[in-house]
């Protein structure tokens, strides 16, 4: 796809937020990228325009039947002022896997990456520079046809918005308290859990909200069939260090294939640390803890990179992990990943791409 | 809730479609109802305005995390020109059950019904009058907060749009071919399958599309856990008449509680026909057919009312039901329900409500 991206610059640039107050996904830059899909023209009319409300017919299918997928990735500023994307090709491949599952037409990943780079260069002044901050990139695709028949839409929009975001942990890497969810289900085999689809998040909100009310920061999801095997945590993948080995649930059709998850597996492999991708039950975690073998637990995701877990609650049982302190693997993975992402460390596997 | 509904009438009424060409959910009337929700004000600013595009921030949560629910009901014109709603109270109760599951604030069902009646009276000229036509009413709620944090939105809009719709079967009640879906899953216990949530439909689109390509009109969904028990068909509930008894899958947390389903159960009960709400396996259907006891199969839903099933395909097995003809129960239920809905028959159970 070699379409030219038309560019219309804003005449009313907005005030950029204080970098102390960024938070996550609350502020958006001056421009956005858009591209349309019709059956006749395929993906067409790629354009960068001022960030502004979308004009959506109330019958647009996305509002009714949830045909919507998204991605999330970040651009980091290096100490020399260069901007780096982290493995955007993997996000694009996943976007097309999500598209395939939701019946949305495939996009050219290379073209969307090019669009993202062009957009970031236009809004470059919005990239925050304080330690731990970054520019969060949110490509998403929505069904726009105005029709109430239940079927795939015949028109779509792909949109990319940019949000300067703060350090995920304002006070450094802080281990979190997690509640193992025993009632609600996030996803099941044959469903859409492996796709980054809007509906998965809708299904997770109630349990997440209950967990927050109970003083937990996240939910640990178990499999839908037996409520026995671990799936993922909140919107992150999860890893356990048990007796020197690192274990993470295998990709099974209901777990999201995280880019950070894949990167952690590759890093651990390169460090010759034994890794297992397999089914792992919540019971096994509690048993490992009872034997004194549960050494570390951490989540992985684009937003937090590495999120150490300090406490796990499952009905009336609980475990304290590594005395509620961040473990050495979690710390090393965090330092290595953020080091590569921000250009502080060498990038032997060519994971970063200059904007 | 006794808020007054403000009314702004269109200055550009649109051409109404030819009643022959209505189809389903393709045309919309001149006005729509809207109401906003904020944490501070709750549901407020109820208003009827000209049908027009919504102004949606690209970061609106509905696009990203699918927090969206809807309802579907119909208004029918009687031979005396009166308009009747069918059991709108049940739609409002379900809307609030959906809201509860998705973390969306409760609405006053009575107030939304009042809003629907006011809206229909304004767009009364759009109600089609040809046999089998009706006015489809689509209330829906979407998360409108512009924020990428994964949590419940703090702002919402409830919108009601109206669509004149044609007879579901242009050539009369025609039995359909159904494919039993063996790979994809619609919903699972603990998920959102019992809610009328956008994400459920997103999950169903791929299988539905494959079925259409294979020459089937709908998908029959099996349970997620064992791929053994029958759940629902397409976006309808399903009933089987076996050896004189009528059987439908019991409400189990992953099946939508259809208003037509409930009405069919009540009608059959009032006719002293034995009815069972229970687990029913697909194997049982094929066994009943082998014994010559599978007498009728039909789906129930607002769009089609009663949809007779003529053929069922399950991997390499198939059954022809009642020689592919509509059965006497299906026909009687269809005649009775549409008779009550359109005022042709008495309404002893007070299911209809004048607009």
**pLDDT reported for residue A234:** 86
Average pLDDT, chain A: 95
Name the minimum distance, in Å, from the CA of B32 to any CA of chain A. 9
Q: Which residues in chain A have their CB less than 8 angstroms from residue B192's CB?
A: 199, 202-203
Residues of A in contact with B186 (CB under 8 A): 191
Percent of residues, chain A, with pLDDT higher than 90: 94
For residue A211, the model assigns a pLDDT of 94
* Cβ contacts of A146 on chain B, cutoff 8 Å: 28
Average pLDDT over residues B196-205: 95
Identify all chain B residues contacting A208, using CB atoms and an 8 Å cutoff.
150-151
Distance CA B258, CA B251 (A): 10
Domain B176-341 belongs in CATH node 3.20.10.10: yes
pLDDT of residue B348: 94
- In this prediction, residue B174 carries a pLDDT of 86
- Residue B272 class from Cβ within 10 Å (0-12 exposed, 13-18 middle, 19+ buried)? exposed
Q: Minimal Cα–Cα distance from B27 to chain A, Å?
A: 8
Q: If you average pLDDT over residues B71-82, what whole number do you get? A: 96
Mutate which of B203, B254, B256, B307 to test chain A, going by most A C-beta atoms within 10 A? B203
Q: Do A151 and B192 touch (CB under 8 A)?
A: no
Beta strands in chain A (DSSP E): 6-7, 31-38, 42-50, 54-56, 68-70, 73-77, 83-86, 134-143, 155-165, 176-180, 218-222, 230-233, 237-242, 245-248, 275-277, 294-301, 305-314, 317-320, 352-354
DSSP H helices, A214-327, are 259-270, 282-290
Averaged over A259-275, what is the pLDDT? 97
Comparing B2 with B162, which gets the higher pLDDT? B162
Question: Is A208 in CB contact (< 8 Å) with chain B?
Answer: yes
Strand (E) or helix (H) holding A328: helix A328-341
Taking an 8 Å cut-off on Cβ atoms, the answer to whether B198 and A199 are in contact is yes
CB contact under 8 A, B68 and A202: yes
pLDDT mean over B123-131: 94
DSSP 3-state assignment of B334? helix
Distance of CA B334 to the CA centre of its chain: 16
| Pick among A202, A209, A212, A234 to test the B interface (most B CBs inside 10 A) | A202
Tell me, yes or no, if the two domains A6-167 and A176-341 fold the same way: no
pLDDT of residue A331: 96
Nearest residue, CB atoms, A148 vs list B25, B191, B227: B25
Report the C-alpha gap between A265 and B21 in whole angstroms: 57
Report residue A125 as tokens.
Answer: 């002044």
Per CB-CB distance under 8 Å, the chain A contacts of B23 are 149
Q: Which fold has domain B6-167?
A: D-amino Acid Aminotransferase; Chain A, domain 1 (3.30.470)
CB contact under 8 A, A189 and B185: yes
Task: Give the residue extent of every domain in chain B.
Answer: 6-167, 176-341
Q: What is the mean pLDDT of residues A108-114?
A: 98
Q: Find the length of chain A.
A: 355
Q: What's the confidence (pLDDT) of residue B242?
A: 98
Nearest chain A residue to B303 by CA distance is: A149
For residue B28, what is the nearest residue in chain A, using CA coordinates?
A: A59
Whether B208 sits inside 8 A of A150 (CB atoms) is: yes
Per-residue model confidence (pLDDT) at position A83:
97
CA gap A67, A65 in Å, rounded: 6
Distance from CA of B349 to the nearest CA of A (A): 30
Any chain B CB within 8 A of the CB of A6? Answer: no
Give the model's pLDDT for residue B321. 96
Cβ atoms of residues B249 and B231 within 8 Å: yes
The B residues from 290 to 349 touching A (CB cutoff 8 Å) are: none
H or E element in which residue B221 lies: strand B218-222
Chain B positions in Cβ-Cβ contact with residue A145 (cut-off 8 Å) = none
Residues of A in contact with B62 (CB under 8 A): 62-63, 198
- pLDDT of B170 higher than 70: no
Please give the pLDDT value at position A171: 65
**pLDDT (tens digit per residue) in A77-106:** 999 999 999 999 999 999 999 999 999 999
Q: Do A53 and B51 touch (CB under 8 A)?
A: no
Contact A170, A153 (CB under 8 A): no
Would an 8 Å CB–CB cutoff place A128 in contact with chain B? no
B243 to chain A, minimum CA–CA distance in Å? 33
Classify burial at B315, counting beta carbons within 10 Å of its beta carbon; exposed 0-12, middle 13-18, buried 19 or more.
exposed
In terms of CA atoms, which chain A residue is nearest residue B59?
A161
A49 touches chain B (CB under 8 A): no
CB within 8 Å: B136 and A150: no
Mean pLDDT of B169-183: 85
Distance from CA of A143 to the nearest CA of B (A): 9
Integer Cα distance of B44 and A238 in angstroms: 42
Q: Which residues contact A178 (CB under 8 A, 6 or more apart)?
A: A211, A216, A217, A218, A219, A220, A233, A309, A311, A312, A313
b/e map of A141-160 (b: 16 or more CB within 10 Å)?
bbbbbbbbebbbbebbbbbb
Interface contact flag, B59 A28, Cβ < 8 Å: yes
The reported pLDDT for the residue numbered B45 is 98
pLDDT at B1 over 60: no
Q: How confident is the model at residue A317 (pLDDT cuts 50, 70, 90)?
A: very high
Task: Search chain B and give the residue with CA nearest A303.
Answer: B149
Average pLDDT value for residue range B108-112: 98
Express as a percent the part of chain B with pLDDT over 70.
98
ipTM of the complex: 0.97
């Amino acid at each position: 796809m070699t379409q030219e991206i038309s560019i219309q610059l804003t005449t009313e640039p907005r005030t950029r937020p204080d970098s102390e107050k960024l938070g996550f996904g609350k502020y958006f830059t001056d421009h956005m990228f858009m591209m349309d899909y019709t059956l006749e023209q395929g993906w067409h009319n790629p354009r960068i325009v001022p960030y502004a409300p979308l004009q959506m017919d109330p019958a647009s299918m996305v509002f009714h039947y949830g045909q919507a997928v998204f991605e999330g990735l970040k651009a980091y500023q290096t100490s020399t002022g260069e901007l780096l994307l982290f493995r955007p090709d993997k996000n694009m491949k996943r976007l097309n896997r999500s598209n395939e599952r939701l019946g949305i037409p495939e996009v050219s990943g290379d073209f969307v990456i090019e669009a993202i780079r062009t957009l970031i260069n236009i809004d470059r002044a919005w990239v925050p520079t304080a330690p731990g901050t970054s520019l969060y990139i949110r490509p998403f695709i929505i069904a726009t046809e105005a029709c109430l028949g239940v079927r795939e839409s015949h028109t779509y929009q792909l949109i990319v918005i940019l949000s300067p975001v703060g350090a995920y942990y304002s006070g450094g890497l802080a281990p979190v308290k997690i509640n193992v969810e025993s009632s609600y289900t996030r996803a099941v085999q044959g469903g859409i859990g492996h796709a980054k689809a809007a509906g998965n998040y809708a299904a997770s909100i109630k349990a997440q909200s209950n967990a927050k009310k109970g003083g937990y920061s996240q939910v640990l999801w178990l499999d839908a069939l037996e409520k026995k095997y671990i799936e993922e945590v909140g919107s992150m993948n999860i890893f356990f260090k048990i007796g020197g080995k690192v274990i993470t649930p295998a990709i099974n059709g209901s777990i999201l294939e995280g880019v950070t998850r894949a990167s952690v597996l590759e890093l651990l492999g390169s460090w010759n640390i034994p890794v297992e991708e397999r089914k792992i039950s919540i019971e096994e975690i509690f048993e490992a803890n009872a034997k004194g073998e549960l050494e570390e637990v951490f989540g992985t995701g684009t937003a937090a990179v590495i999120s150490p877990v300090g406490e796990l609650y499952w009905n009336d049982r609980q475990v304290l992990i590594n005395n509620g302190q961040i473990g050495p693997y979690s710390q090393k993975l965090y330092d290595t990943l953020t080091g590569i992402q921000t250009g502080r460390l060498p990038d032997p596997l060519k994971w970063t791409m200059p904007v």
